[in-house]
Structure 1
Amino acid sequence: MNRNIKTQINVNGQLMDLSHPQVMGILNVTPDSFFAGSRKQSEKEIAERVRQIVEEGGSMIDIGAYSSRPNAGDVPAEEEMRRLRYGLAVIRRECPEAVVSVDTFRADVAKMCVEEYGAAIINDISAGEMDANMFPVIARLGVPYILMHMQGTPQTMQACPHYGNVVKEVMCYFSEKVQRLRDLGAKDIILDPGFGFGKTLEHNYALLDQLEEFSIFELPLLVGVSRKSMIYKLLGGGPEDALNGTTAIHALALMKGACILRVHDVKAAVETVKIVNAMRQSRYVCQ
């Protein structure tokens, strides 16, 4: 595995060290996210979720106001902004020092969240495909950018996913996108293979099996598999039954180079990071 991966990103003027994997807690201010337990809409629910993420050891809060589950309905930009303003105001009040990531594919929404609320990271499921202004705006804002692979859109991505070689095609996709971002002057880029976004069960596990191949980019890798259908369609049940499978994949992903885990269950993910780190440290003890 390539050992020259960039392990520091600039968040709000401070360096975050990703050589110790970080846990990003999910905060959905939506009425229709795929995991019902993650939907937080009232001020009380949002505040409780923010405190839970921080108290359980999450180092980042990823707030989203547009459900990206398969076949999700469209949300107008004005409504997405309204939801985010509501949620970001609660985060600012409850935990003003929190590192906040905003899950949006709209450049204007990203700009508003960074300039008005101090959001530190933009997490774009479409890698600029759904808004041509996103890359130039990210370069001007100078914030870390999570570049995710998705085939199609949330409305179409699971209609008929197809690849010749899913790993090679995702890598080629990243290669072109990363170069465009660098040409524009974007600084901190984080890669997300997009588990569950325009992929079959087989595609998802092929990506997991070869996850270490993405170290060739020498960029931090984010893995978001929390309670997704790639787990419960294999094991049975639904999202509410998928915590054990999620934890198993988190351990594998960390061993294959993941730097950030985007999760619903923060405590379980933090414990997984601790176990994998202890295993790694034992190598030096035994030498």
Structure 2
Amino acid sequence: MGVLNVTPDSFSDGGQWIDQDAAVRRALEMLKNGADVIDIGGESTRPGADPVPEAEELRRVIPVIKALRDETAARISVDTFKPAVARAAIEAGADIWNDVMALRYEGAVETAAELGVPVILMHMSGTPQDMQKNPQYDDVVSEVCDFLTERADIAMAAGVSADSIWLDPGIGFGKSLDHNLALMHDLDEVIGLGYPVLFGASRKRFIAAIDEGAAELERLGGSLAAALRAAQAGAAMVRVHDVRMTVQALKVQAAIRKGRS
């Protein structure tokens, strides 16, 4: 899954793809480089990000989704927690709803059932505005697993089909460095819940916490290490900024595992 943020303030690529033509070119480049899905978001969920009005989020994402759909049949995901934005995005040509709130926003679970598209449920403790203010868990792995199981059960009770549900442990969303490392170490427990897992750790701050001083654009090595760990554990998809290098790393890992080309 290639990340396409059409925002002015996302943590890594904010402001780069606001222009519609530039956004579409970037999406097509990622597809050429091996992305299977393009994830388009119009509201930053970085720590401390300001909320974006629904109308502004629609203005940012819908034209890009429509323009990209005119260029390719590849799968498009909309990264939003607002039901109205998800509905408009699907109508514009998106295929997947990627929800950092795991359908907790008012009307979201009902909308997901009506839309009938794959939906990704992510764990986030708190909101982007406060999630990194001293996050606390007794056992982060079990608590994240319990939360995701509960949200999947709620979605299915509302009419979302089980085979439409994906899970995301939410690396970097309301978690300290140790919390993130524990989730990556025990990622097989999340995968063992029985749903396909999306894993996103690309360019995140925990990398700089391990490699002190690494700027946002100096986190490729850490991003690749995390993506390889996710693939090793059995994640179904990784969400990344650096598609070409991630595809290469995954190909090499797979070839090594087979022991032949």
Taking structure 1 as the reference length, the TM-score comes to 0.86
Q: What code does the residue aligned with 1:125 have?
A: V
Residue 211 (1) aligns with residue 187 (2): yes
2: CA distance between counterparts of 1:85 and 1:220? 27
Residues paired across the two proteins, number: 257
Q: 8 Å contact 1:139–1:185 — kept in the other structure?
A: yes
Amino acid at match of 1:121: I
Q: CA deviation at 1:208?
A: 0.3
**1:132 Cα offset (Å):** 2.4
Equivalent residue, structure 2, for 1:75: 52
Q: Who is 1:107 aligned against?
A: 83
Q: Determine the structure 2 residue equivalent to 1:151.
A: 125
Does residue 101 of structure 2 align to residue 126 of structure 1? Answer: yes
Deviations 1:143-190 (A, max 9, x none): 000000000001110112000000010011011111111112212111
Corresponding residue for residue 224 of structure 1: 200
Give ranges in structure 2 of 5+ residues lacking alignment.
Answer: none
Aligned to 1:93: 70
Which one is further off, 31-40 or 239-248?
31-40
Is 1:197 the counterpart of 2:173 in the alignment? yes
Deviations 1:114-134 (A, max 9, x none): 12x1210000001122x1211
Confirm or deny that 1:160 pairs with 2:137: no
- Paired with 1:37 and 1:179, the residues of 2 have a C-alpha distance of 35
Hey, what's the Cα distance between the residues in 2 that align with 1:183 and 1:89?
Answer: 32
Please give the alpha-carbon distance, in whole angstroms, between the structure 2 residues aligned to 1:185 and 1:177. Answer: 13
RMSD of aligned C-alpha atoms?
1.4
Q: Which one-letter code corresponds to 2:139 in the other structure?
A: N
Uncovered stretches (5+) of structure 1, i.e. residues with no partner = 1-23
C-alpha contact (below 8 Å) 1:33/1:39 kept by paired residues: no
TM-score normalized with structure 2 length: 0.95
Question: What is the alpha-carbon distance in structure 1 between the residues aligned to residue 106 and residue 19 of structure 2?
Answer: 33
Task: Decide whether the 8 Å contact of 2:191 with 2:235 is kept in 1.
Answer: no
Question: How far apart in 2 are the matches of 1:98 and 1:217?
Answer: 28
> Once the 2 structures are TM-superposed, how far is the Cα of residue 268 of structure 1 from its aligned partner?
1.1
2:16 equivalent among 18, 36, 39: 39
Query: Amino acid of the residue matched to residue 94 of structure 2?
Result: A
Per the alignment, residue 250 of structure 1 pairs with 227
> CA offset at residue 37 of structure 1?
6.6
1:184-228 Cα offsets, whole Å, 9 max, x none, are: 221211110000000001100000000011232211011100000
Relative contact order: is structure 1 or structure 2 higher (C-alpha 8 Å, sep ≥ 6)?
1
The one-letter code sitting in structure 1 at the alignment partner of 2:235 is: A
Q: Which residue of 1 aligns with 2:2?
A: 25
Instruction: State the 1:277 CA deviation.
Output: 2.3
Q: Is the 8 A contact 2:102 2:122 kept in 1?
A: yes
Over the matched positions of the two proteins, sequence identity in percent amounts to 41
CA offsets per residue over residues 92-141 of structure 1, 9 Å max, x none?
2332x0200000000111111112x1210000001122x12111111111
Q: What is the distance in 1 between the residues matched to 2:14 and 2:160?
A: 35
Q: What does residue range 41-56 of structure 1 map to in structure 2 within 5 Å?
A: 41-56=18-33
> 1:38 Cα deviation (Å)?
7.2
Q: 1:180 aligns with which of 154, 170, 189?
A: 154
